[in-house]
């Protein structure tokens, strides 16, 4: 059963579910599967080596969709780097290919957001573009609102990747968002099923963003061994690294992550230069490609404790929507019973 919210109306999607932009995971086969399932698929720009490669990924996504209805966007995450990627080039490439939905995240996003809002690829006026900006604090969400984004993704401490340094869980962040924000927001982090969707809606969100849950689907590009490890895991199988560097990241608790934490906990601490080889992105990519859980660092949220199967994206999205609907009906019945 479709669930109608501000997000579904604005984007023309059937279900208020967004696939998170994930490095090495947000590729055409997954984005297309999520989109045709009725949710919002998301290509990860920086998974592609160049803006031109992103152009081809966008075309490939459309080829896979083969004319079926569905919506997908492009994630561009601004990461701290000595030699930053060509963020503007990725954005322009996506817009030249007709993409109108973007997920932005990271530090100092103002110039990128402004570019997406105003870029004119031809003599005609730029089309209306929709920007979902991911934040881990309410103060950053308010800044995004002032920049004119269309929707905010409120990322709680439960999430995979970078949850910020305030350690605030989604339950409080979403309730604060309901009090402070005037534009729609979606819930990100700690959600993997219909209970999470219905809870997010009850807290005022217009939908949910899921990353780890979509990693463990039939169309996800990661190795089967990693999917099976996720299924076998509990909510205690993730860990934070880079706490001492004030760049906290939640990753899967494997041998490499434990070594990083050990080095950080030394009386002298650890400099990034000492950790660089352990946390290299190329090693993390090998995890997904070769299926070696301990090949490198890989992101995972505590929702690994809620995942116990590897469905298709269509099966997953429909199940979550149905379970959320059932839960909403159950809560309505509680209200009716209280009136008796």
Kindly indicate the confidence band of residue 337, based on its pLDDT and cuts at 50, 70 and 90: low
Q: Is residue 30 part of a domain?
A: yes
State which H helix or E strand residue 101 sits in: strand 101-106
pLDDT at 63: 98
294/136 Cα distance (integer angstroms): 28
CA distances from 120 to 92, 115, 127, 288 (A): 9, 9, 8, 37
pLDDT at 340: 53
More confident: 83 or 205:
205
- Residues of the domain holding 35: 6-222
Q: Is residue 137 part of a domain?
A: yes
pLDDT at 83: 85
pLDDT at 338: 56
200/246 Cα distance (integer angstroms): 28
**Share of the chain residues as helix, strand and coil, in percent rounded to the nearest 5:** 45, 15, 40
pLDDT at 121: 83
Is residue 200 scored above 70 in pLDDT? yes
Q: Is residue 156 part of a domain?
A: yes
Q: Is residue 323 part of a domain?
A: no
Is residue 304 scored above 60 in pLDDT? yes
pLDDT at 81: 78
Sign of CA dihedral 80, 188, 173, 204: positive
Is residue 125 scored above 90 in pLDDT? no
Q: Is residue 248 part of a domain?
A: no
Is residue 285 scored above 90 in pLDDT? yes
212/227 Cα distance (integer angstroms): 10
- Partners of 251 in the β-ladder: 239, 299
Q: Is residue 250 part of a domain?
A: no
With H, G, I as helix, E, B as strand and everything else as coil, classify residue 135: strand
State the CATH number of the domain containing residue 79: 3.20.20.70
Tell me, rounded to whole angstroms, the distance of Cα 91 from its chain centroid.
18
pTM: 0.95
Out of 80-89, 136-145, 162-171, 276-285, which region has the weakest mean confidence (pLDDT)?
A: 80-89
Using alpha carbons, select from 153, 215, 254, 233 the residue that is nearest to residue 24: 215
The structural domain count of the chain equals 1
For the chain, give the mean pLDDT. 95
Sign of CA dihedral 235, 320, 77, 156: negative
Q: Give the number of residues written for the chain.
A: 340
Q: Is residue 312 part of a domain?
A: no
Q: Is residue 246 part of a domain?
A: no
pLDDT at 122: 78
Kindly indicate the confidence band of residue 313, based on its pLDDT and cuts at 50, 70 and 90: very high
26/81 Cα distance (integer angstroms): 21
Is residue 61 scored above 70 in pLDDT? yes
Mean pLDDT calculated for residue range 74-102: 94
Is residue 230 scored above 70 in pLDDT? yes
Local structure of residue 42 (DSSP, 8 states): E
Cβ pair 29, 88 in contact under 8 A: no
pLDDT at 126: 79
Using alpha carbons, select from 33, 49, 40, 26 the residue that is nearest to residue 222: 26
């Amino acid at each position: 059963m479709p669930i109608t919210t501000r997000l579904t109306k604005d984007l023309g999607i059937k279900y208020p579910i967004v696939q998170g932009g994930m490095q090495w995971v947000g590729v055409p086969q997954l984005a297309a599967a999520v989109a045709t399932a009725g949710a919002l698929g998301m290509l990860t720009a920086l998974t592609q080596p160049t803006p031109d490669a992103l152009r081809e990924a966008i075309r490939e996504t459309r080829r896979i969709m083969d004319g079926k209805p569905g919506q997908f966007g492009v994630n561009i995450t601004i990461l701290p780097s000595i030699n930053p990627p060509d963020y503007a080039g990725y954005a322009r490439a996506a817009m030249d290919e007709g993409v109108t939905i973007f997920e932005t995240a990271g530090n100092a996003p103002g110039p990128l957001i402004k570019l997406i809002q105003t870029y004119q690829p031809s003599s005609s006026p730029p089309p209306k573009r929709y920007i979902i900006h991911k934040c881990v604090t309410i103060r950053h969400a308010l800044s995004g609102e002032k920049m004119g984004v269309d929707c905010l993704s409120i990322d709680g401490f439960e999430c995979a990747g970078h949850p910020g340094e305030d350690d605030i869980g989604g339950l409080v962040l979403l309730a604060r968002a309901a009090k402070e924000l005037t534009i729609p927001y979606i819930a990100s982090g700690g959600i993997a099923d219909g209970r999470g969707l219905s809870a997010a809606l009850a807290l005022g969100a217009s939908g949910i963003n899921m990353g780890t849950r979509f990693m463990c689907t039939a169309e996800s590009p990661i190795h089967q061994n990693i999917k099976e490890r996720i299924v076998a895991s509990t909510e205690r199988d993730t860990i934070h690294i880079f706490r001492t560097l004030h760049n906290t990241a939640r990753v899967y608790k494997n041998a490499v992550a434990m070594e990083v934490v050990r080095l950080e906990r030394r009386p002298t601490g650890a400099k990034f230069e000492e950790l660089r080889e352990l946390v290299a992105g190329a090693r993390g990519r090998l995890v997904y490609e070769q299926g070696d859980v301990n090949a490198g660092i890989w992101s995972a949220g505590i929702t690994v404790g809620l995942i116990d199967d590897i469905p298709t994206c269509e099966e997953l999205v429909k199940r979550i929507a149905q379970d959320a609907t059932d839960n909403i009906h159950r809560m309505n019945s509680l209200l009716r019973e209280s009136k008796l």
